[in-house]
Amino acid sequence: MFKGSNVALVTPFKNNKLDDDTYIKLIHFHIKNGTNGLVPAGTTGESPTLSHGEHERVIELCVKESNGKLPVFAGTGSNSTEEAISLTTHAEKIGASGALIVTPYYNKPTQEGLYQHYKAINDKCGIPIIIYNIPGRSVIDMSVDTMAKLYELKNIIGVKDATGDLNRVDQTLKKIGKDFLQLTGNDDNAFEFNKRGGVGAISVTANIAPKLCSEFQKYSVLSDEKSLTEAKRINEILRPVHHSMFVESNPSPVKYAAKLLNLCEDDVRLPLVKVTKPTKEIIRKALENAKLI
């Protein structure tokens, strides 16, 4: 089951090329520090500016290096259905645990178009699929009714909800039931999200605070008062960190934070740029307050 703290992995670059050695070190960093699952080649992994070959390599390295120690849900979405099928079948072939597939961006399909897109991918593969619903980047919003219809297919198992609307957790739970996995894509609402029926997060902050994020997730899904008190305590520590990760466009802030922690360089690919000096100060202060540096 894909639960808990799952990291939306950054993709490190060196001279604008994939930095394989650093990427491998990052994967083992997460294995050692409590991360529950790995999500390569998503938004935080700069998938829009990875070549097709790079995209496949990032996933291959993640599967190979994790070596079954952690589940790998590969980012294989595209606004082209055929390309999404190609990336997903490749991920399946190399042994990924499942796929995270974003709603098609720019095309603006209808709800029926969304259904047919995911059905086409579902029909061509045999691994679990998590829908990635992020209207802020893809413009469209998949309805709860469409997700319920997709859940009837063999491979659709849940959603990464980045709508920011906590009422969607309640609506989805009521319509589809608790076996449909709900993971938040917004670190800042993870506490309330889990209280309402979520089972974890696909997290940006986990790139730089894997232990804290994992501990938070462990306690936040429990119902006893002691566990919830501990979850609240950790959440307060992480709140400024979560905020600092989105002062500028993701993943530029988290890459700068990773540089401060000597995890990787802060290089990003155009049209993204490195964060500004004021943002650097916000990030540094948040990390210091959380005792990460």
Find, among 266, 270, 268, 247, the residue nearest to 257 by Cα: 266
Please give the radius of gyration of the chain, using alpha carbons only, rounded to the nearest integer: 18
Domain assignment present for 261: no
Candidate list 118, 149, 151, 160, residue with the active-site label: 160
pTM greater than 0.75 (yes/no): yes
Domain assignment present for 290: no
Domain assignment present for 168: yes
Candidate list 132, 151, 219, 256, residue with the active-site label: 132
Catalytic residue flag (residue 259): no
Angle at the Cα of 126 (from 122 to 130), degrees rounded to 5?
A: 55
What is the span of the domain harbouring residue 60? 4-222
Question: Which token pair is 275?
Answer: 């964060």
Find, among 36, 18, 17, 38, the residue nearest to 27 by Cα: 38
Question: Which token pair is 133?
Answer: 């619903």
Domain assignment present for 228: no
For residue range 148-163, what is the model confidence (pLDDT) as tens digits? 999 999 999 999 999 9
Helices (H) and strands (E) in the chain, counts: 12, 10
Domain assignment present for 281: no
Domain assignment present for 31: yes
Q: Quick one: pLDDT at residue 1? A: 67
Q: Quick one: pLDDT at residue 2? A: 87
Q: 193: domain CATH number?
A: 3.20.20.70
Residue 52 C-alpha from the chain's centroid: 20
The amino acid that residue 232 corresponds to is: K
Domain assignment present for 203: yes
Q: Quick one: pLDDT at residue 223? A: 87
Domain assignment present for 230: no
Domain count, the chain: 1
Catalytic residue flag (residue 64): no
Count of CB atoms situated within 10 Å of the CB of 53: 9
Cis peptide before 271 (omega within 30 of 0): yes
Tens-binned pLDDT, residue by residue, of the chain (293 aa): 689 999 999 999 999 999 999 999 999 999 999 999 999 999 999 999 999 999 999 999 999 999 999 999 999 999 999 999 999 999 999 999 999 999 999 999 999 999 999 999 999 999 999 999 999 999 999 999 999 999 999 999 999 999 999 999 999 999 999 999 999 999 999 999 999 999 999 999 999 999 999 999 999 999 899 999 999 999 999 999 999 999 999 999 999 999 999 999 999 999 999 999 999 999 999 999 999 99
d(CA 161, CA 158): 9
For residue range 8-49, what is the model confidence (pLDDT) as tens digits? 999 999 999 999 999 999 999 999 999 999 999 999 999 999
